[in-house]
Amino acid sequence: MFDRLNPLDKVRSIANYQFGKDAGRRLFPDEVKIVHSKRTGKIRHVYLDEEMLATLRPTNGLFSLTIKGAKRIMKNVKNRRLWVKVQAEAEHFVVRGKSVFAKHVVDADEEDSSSGGSDRYKRRQRSFSRGKSVANWKRDESF
């Protein structure tokens, strides 16, 4: 049944599953451009105004957001999922592609786990990085 959905409905359904109720419509408006793989024909990238919002990872069928995609989630989705809030002091490391350690985590989504991606932001709720959580923050908050 899922294969019978049009591409826009498909990417919205995946986003709803991954980021929370109604995230798909807010992340991917009607004007998005969906690019398919030339080799497989499957959805690979989603663009808005010639800027990539997300890549659909073939390994797990979930989205990897760009900074622009993460900002759209932060701005438009009230009940976000899979996010991590880090100390302001860690921002300059994260922006340069460095890792966030448990001691820098101020707060995190209860559902955040090593199986999904997280959007990292600091106190001003400005999205500045996206990445993968490799440990459960609640379990590791003793660090």
Whether the pLDDT of residue 50 is over 50: the answer is yes
Topology of domain 82-143 in CATH is: 2.30.130
Domain boundaries, the chain: 1-80, 82-143
Topology of domain 1-80 in CATH is: Nuclear Transport Factor 2; Chain: A, (3.10.450)
Q: Give residue-wise pLDDT tens across range 119-135.
A: 444 434 444 444 555 44
DSSP letter string, 17-67 = HHH-TTHHHHHS-TT-EEEE-TTT--EEEEEETTEEEEEE-TTTS-EEE-H
How many residues belong to the chain? 143
With CA atoms as reference, report the closest residue to 44 among 30, 59, 55.
55
With CA atoms as reference, report the closest residue to 46 among 38, 35, 57, 58.
35
pTM above 0.85, yes or no: no
Mean residue pLDDT across the chain: 78
Phi, psi of 105 (to 5 degrees): -80, 125
pLDDT band for position 46 (cuts 50, 70, 90): very high
pLDDT band for position 82 (cuts 50, 70, 90): low
User: In this predicted structure, which of 27-36, 67-76, 77-86 has the lowest mean pLDDT?
Assistant: 77-86
- Give the span between the Cα atoms of 96 and 75, in whole angstroms: 23
Q: Do domains 1-80 and 82-143 have the same CATH topology?
A: no
